[in-house]
Structure 1
Amino acid sequence: MQSLHFSFKTHNTELRIRSLGLALVLLISLASPTSSCTEQEKTSFLRFLAGLSWDGGLAASWRNNTDCCKWEGITCRQDSMVTKVMVASRGLEGHISESLGNLTGLQYLNLSHNSLSGGLPLELVSSNSITVLDVSFNQLNGTLHELPSSTPAWPLQVLNISSNLFAGQFPSTTWKAMENLIALNASNNSFTGQIPTHFCSSSPSLAVLDLRLNKFSGNIPKELGDCSKLRELRAGYNNISGQVPDELFNATSLECLSFPNNDLNGLIDGAHITNLRNLVTLDLGGNNFSGKIPDSIGQLKKLEEFHLDNNNLSGELPSALSNCTNLAVLVLSSNKFSGQLTKVNFSNLPNLRTLDVYYNNFTGTVPESIYSCSNLTALRVSTNKLDGQLSPRISDLKSLTFLSLSTNRFRNITNALQILKSCRNLTTLLIGDNFKQEFMTEDDRIDGFEKLQVLDIEDCQLSGKIPLWISRLTNLEMLLLNRNRLTGPIPGWINSLSHLFYMDVSNNSLTGQIPLTLTEMPMLKSTYSTTHWNPSVFELTVNSGLSLQYRTITSFPSVLNLSNNNLAGVIPPQIGQLKMLGALDFSFNKLSGQIPQAICNLTNLQVLDLSNNNLTGDIPAALNSLHFLSAFSISNNDLQGPIPSGGQFNTFQNSSFDGNPKLCGSVLTQKCNSAEEHHILSAKQTDYKVAFVVAFSAFFGVGVLYDQLVLSRYFVKS
């Protein structure tokens, strides 16, 4: 089992369409109607309604013999001219009719958060009246229309086409006609080509430009520096390359400059960045920037969010960071920074909520000044070269919910736990790969941790037993004690942790039998899963492996990993009660007896490893009905008889069965005799109907679930 890695991004893929924030001041409600709308307006609405395959109940209100000013979602002014159409989040399906462009008084059109498809009618974008158009979060597709160069200017001020399926390049003449545009959100589509150079020359009042999550390439246009009123520029998660042009720093009104996860490179320009004194958010994470953080960064007094994670930056942190007194989020993880964190006086940052310096080369101790940040909720200093004992002052961080100290050189685990129990709001505690060769504290005075949901003390080479104080962690959901030197049995109180669904105690020296209480874990039994599931959200995003991210604890699969211990006895048949299990690993123990038939009840299993034990008897034929099973091994046992055929068994490699000389089957060199073949055929016919039903159901669910799993011992990087 690998260790857990947690990473942080404040800009998650749930798009908060801040680009429309500026536009909300335009949405001033008008007076209620006193007379009827025109026939032309009514006809336009009914044409739109006719183009929908699902109207979300609008037809009940939009009737031909009634005044359309009284229809649901329609607002008119006193002279009965329609000014607003607001039908967001109605589940509408079908195409958008160009007839809505005939509404000569329409100013605000909101069709967002529906399931509309097809193209965006040019009549809406080029309307002579619409100032705010929002079609975000639909399934619109195709390319945007190209217009003749002589097209007159449009009144459109706010355009939100985000979270659709648009593709192709931005047509230049279309945007040249938008001289009144203030906010454009085209994020989360599939636009390609270079970012247009003429946004600000065509739209001199442009204040918000959001191009995130597309396929733009090329360099950052230097012409964007001419945007004198631009306040938000977001183009993260594209394929933009090259260096940040000097001209961009002429856009001195910028409050948000965000280009994460591109291919930008070069140094951070300390000479010009001071021009952007209005910056509140600076996000250049996930690029290829090198060099140091310039001292001039301290002149950005308004800076609240600063992201430089996942670059190639090096050197010591500038003490001038202490001058950014409004900092709330500082993310410098996955770089090559060195020196001591004490270079920064964190006591000057009273608003700091998140500090992430994971995966660098920092040395020394955790600065005492950090403990002055009373608003800190997430602190991650893992995977550095920090040492010493934990300071008692960490208990001053009363708001701390997420703490990761793992993979450093900290000492004295007993002292650390005695101190940390005072952090009453902790939900995630990762202290693994420290405290090398110490004794697992069994101090009964360790209490607190009332809210703890994730506890990781893996890879510390701790001796001793699984301590009783863990039984008091009544909200615990994930427990990782793997890669230590723990001895003794798995405690019988384990089922008292009523929320536990992820348990890894592998690679220890545990003895005894698999306790029956382990098969009574409530969160692993289907009868409890829906009523006791806690949809907790991680304070920081959890990275599993290189590509998977988890925002909630419940995104993780249910895991029971007891591998690489000295457990003996039989696998209890009651194991079949744990129907929510996604991974079951009992490998490298001293288990004997047969594989219980009840394991075939674990229909959610994706990993089953019983290898390197002393198991005997046949392989249960019904295992071929576990259609989620993606990793399977029973090698190095004393099993006999035919290998089941069909289902997932047709996908497993021969190595899954190695070291069982009494097994036979078509995948092995040792074939089965006629009697054994008859046994295989009978079992296959008996299970055919059940297998078909399971397979048919699994077809619809396996795609989403399988994408969330990494089958590398097994799933978690904490």
Structure 2
Amino acid sequence: MLGTATVMSTFLYTLLGLTVGSSLHCAVRREISPCSCRQRDGSLQVACERMASFAQVRDAVAGKFAPEQRVTLRIAYSSLPDLGQHRFDELGFTVTSLKLNHDNLSLLNDEAFNGLEWVEFLSLADNALPEIPQYVLKRMPHVKTLDMGRSKISTVLENDFKSVPELQHLFLPGNMISKLEKNCIPYILRHLHIGRNRIESLNGSLRHLNDLEWLFLNQNQLVSLEDELPPDGAKLILLHVSDNKLQKLPQDLRKYIYLESLFVSKNEIQSFNGTLQKLRKLKRLHADHNKIKELSSDEFMDLENMEDLQLGHNCLSVLNGSLLPLRSLRCVNLTHNLFENMTLREITGLRNLRVIDLSHNQIRHLSSGPMTQNLVELETRVAELRLEYNLLTALDGSLMGLHGLQKLNISHNLIETISPDDLINLDELKVLDISFNRLTTLEETSKTVLPALEFLYVSNNLLTALEKDFHGLPVLCWADLSHNQIQTVGQDLIAHTRCRRFGVYDTLRIYVDGNPIVCGSELEQAVAAIEAHYAKIHGVLECTTTNLTTVAVTIIE
């Protein structure tokens, strides 16, 4: 959890433009040891770690910089039992950014913070502070960013931030906050993170935050957001309320016309109730792990900029054409729902799709999109289609209307045959996974050409022979045929195949573990012919002789 929290803090600082640049020469580097320094944009960044006392910090850096020198000071992983006996103005330079992290601080003497009136960034994260240190903040009236994440704060009081009127960015994640007093959050706040706490109600504390641009409320115990968020949300770009107990989205959300990212995963939401229809700027919607049962046909009516839609782990059984307006959609995740029948008409005209994930459903029948003369206008492009772990028995030519398909996963189904129409026009397909099905032959791949296919996975089926199965696969480089019922291998298997990737010839690798191949001169000739044609057979064959005894034959590099 600590690593995740650290990554998130770095991400948030990056959003605010608070990242640190590359290290440059620091003239007093040796003089301030064991502290270190680096320089950027006219400001020195001084770091002191694993210090035994504040006095040690003072002795290392005091008098080493000019009084007017602007310094970012970080004291971390240290023990500061004497902090209350000293003052920061003893250091003799101008601190504009102060970070006291992982110092096991629980009580703060406000007088120790004398001389910090120019601090704009203050981080007291990763300590054991039980409350917001009001009197300390009075010493730093120009603080614009305050980070007190991962401490032991339980309540945010109305007067906690009165002494920092310029505060715009507030981080309080990973505390034990259960109570927010009504007017405790500053009005001009632009960025607020109070995720990973114990908040059951916002108590109207955010209602007045009209300048808010992003808001993190994730991993709390919120049951409702109705009449809790800013009424128009005119500037809100990101809202993260995942991992709560919400049963519906607030109606105020309809007015958040500049919202780009909405994260509502791991709640108890059953329906969107039309709250998203007009959010034209919305690019990312993560609503997985909810209880959503239905999408209306106009659910995403004006969401023309939507790129990433995560609806996995819900209770959906139909789409009702809800995806058709999403012309910018690149990724849609519908895994672990209740779909039994799926038609590719649901994505007709979507040209930017990279991934559609329909895995782990109950799909028994997959049908194609409409046959139309206006192929240019309604062209549908998908790069990766995931249908593994369903109940398909056949494809029924359903993929004919898809363009640009590069990866197809139909493993772990009940497919018994591949028909002539199933693979037609898949000219860009590079990866085909049909493992864990009930196929007895790959005859169709000898007739239908897949000019770009490089990887073929057909393990754990019921194949009995390999003859001309690869004749339609001119550039195949990897074939997993393990754990089938293959008894014979033909010499002409790869007569029309020469592995080529990125325009470079390579070796075709064929994996045949766990097959009852019949031993004899024909097998020897087939293996020799195959390996003479720039291919290699890998695996241990349970090789059956003509007198029905079994001989282990190892064919590996």
Normalising by structure 1, report the TM-score.
Answer: 0.54
Give the AA of the match of 2:137: C
Conserved in 2, the CA contact under 8 Å of 1:347 and 1:370?
yes
- The alpha-carbon distance between structure 1 residues 387 and 401, as it changes in their structure 2 partners (threshold 3 A), is same
Task: Specify the alignment match of 2:486 in structure 1.
Answer: 591
Residue 282 of structure 1, CA deviation: 1.3
Correspondent of 1:424 among 345, 348, 351: 351
Measured at CA, do residues 270 and 205 of structure 1 come closer, stay the same or move farther in structure 2, by a change above 3 Å? same
**Of the candidates 329, 344, 352, which is equivalent to residue 400 of structure 1?**
329
In structure 2, C-alpha distance between the alignment counterparts of 1:256 and 1:348, rounded to whole Å: 24
Q: 2:207 aligns with which of 260, 263, 274?
A: 274
472, 483, 489: which one pairs with 2:412?
A: 483
1:255-654 alignment, distance < 5 Å = 255-260=190-195, 262=196, 264-285=197-218, 287-297=219-229, 299=231, 301-302=233-234, 303-311=236-244, 313-338=245-270, 340-342=271-273, 344-366=274-296, 368-391=298-321, 394-410=323-339, 413-414=342-343, 417-433=344-360, 436-441=363-368, 452-465=382-395, 467=397, 469=399, 473-474=403-404, 476-489=405-418, 500-501=430-431, 503-513=432-442, 561-569=457-465, 586-592=481-487, 613-614=515-516, 638=542
Residue in 2 aligned with 1:692?
none
1-structure distance, mates of 2:468, 2:398: 24
Distance (whole Å) between structure 1 residues aligned to residue 29 and residue 139 of structure 2: 27
SS at match of 2:301: helix
- What is the CA distance between 1:493 and its match in structure 2? 6.9
CA distance in structure 1 between the aligned counterparts of 2:262 and 2:229, rounded to whole angstroms: 13
**Structure 1, gaps ≥5 residues long:** 1-8, 24-86, 525-558, 595-607, 618-632, 641-659, 665-678, 688-718
| Alignment partners' CA distance in 2, 1:131 and 1:208 | 17
Q: Is the 8 A contact 2:170 2:191 kept in 1?
A: yes
User: For residues 67 and 115 of structure 2, what CA distance do their matches in structure 1 show?
Assistant: 12
Q: 1:282 to 1:300 in 2, by over 3 A?
A: farther
Q: Is the 8 A contact 2:306 2:328 kept in 1?
A: yes
Alignment partners' CA distance in 1, 2:289 and 2:441: 39
Asked if the contact 1:95–1:118 (Cα under 8 Å) also holds between the matched residues in 2, the reply is no
Return closer, same or farther for 1:184/1:123 CA change in 2, 3 Å cut-off: same
Kindly state the Cα deviation for residue 117 of structure 1 after the two structures are TM-superposed.
10
Q: Which amino acid aligns with 1:206?
A: V
In structure 2, the gaps of 5 or more residues are 52-56, 490-509, 520-537
CA deviations on 1:434-465 (whole Å, 9 max, x unpaired) are: 57322444977688667533212334423334
CA drift of 1:179 comes to 2.6
Q: CA deviation at 1:181?
A: 0.8
Amino acid of the structure 2 residue aligned with 1:272:
S
Partner of 1:251: 186
Q: Which amino acid aligns with 1:181?
A: V
Task: Specify which of 143, 147, 164 is matched with residue 206 of structure 1.
Answer: 143
Distance in structure 1 (CA, Å) of the matches to 2:429 and 2:130: 49
Query: Which of 118, 137, 149 does residue 86 from structure 2 map onto?
Result: 149
Structure 1 residue 182 and structure 2 residue 86: aligned? no
Cα deviation, 1:43-79, whole Å, max 9, x if unaligned, reads xxxxxxxxxxxxxxxxxxxxxxxxxxxxxxxxxxxxx
> What SS class does the counterpart of residue 416 from structure 2 fall into?
strand
Deviations 1:116-151 (A, max 9, x none): 99999645997622325399xxxx975387654244
Contact 1:486 1:509 in 2 (8 A): yes
Tell me the SS of whatever aligns to 1:372. coil
User: What is the percentage of aligned positions where both structures have the same residue?
Assistant: 17
1:231 corresponds to which residue?
A: 168
* CA offset digits 1:21-43 (Å, max 9, x no partner): 489xxxxxxxxxxxxxxxxxxxx
Is this contact kept in 2: 1:95–1:117, CA < 8 A? no
- CA separation of 1:141 and 1:301: change in aligned 2, threshold 3 A: closer
Count of residue correspondences: 483
Give the alignment's TM-score, normalised by structure 2: 0.67
Cα shift at 1:357:
1.6
**Bigger proportion of residues as helix:** 1
Cα deviation, 1:180-203, whole Å, max 9, x if unaligned, reads: 21124688xxx4544884352332
SS of aligned partner of 1:152: helix
Deviation at 1:368, TM superposition (A): 0.8
Q: 1:130 pairs with 59, 69, 77, which one?
A: 69
* C-alpha distance after superposition, 1:576-596 (max 9, x if no partner): x988x7xx86454223469xx
Q: What is residue 494 of structure 2 aligned with on the other side?
A: none
Name which structure has the greater RCO, CA cutoff 8 Å, separation 6+. Answer: 1
The residue type paired with residue 293 of structure 1 is L
The one-letter code matched in structure 1 to 2:382 is L
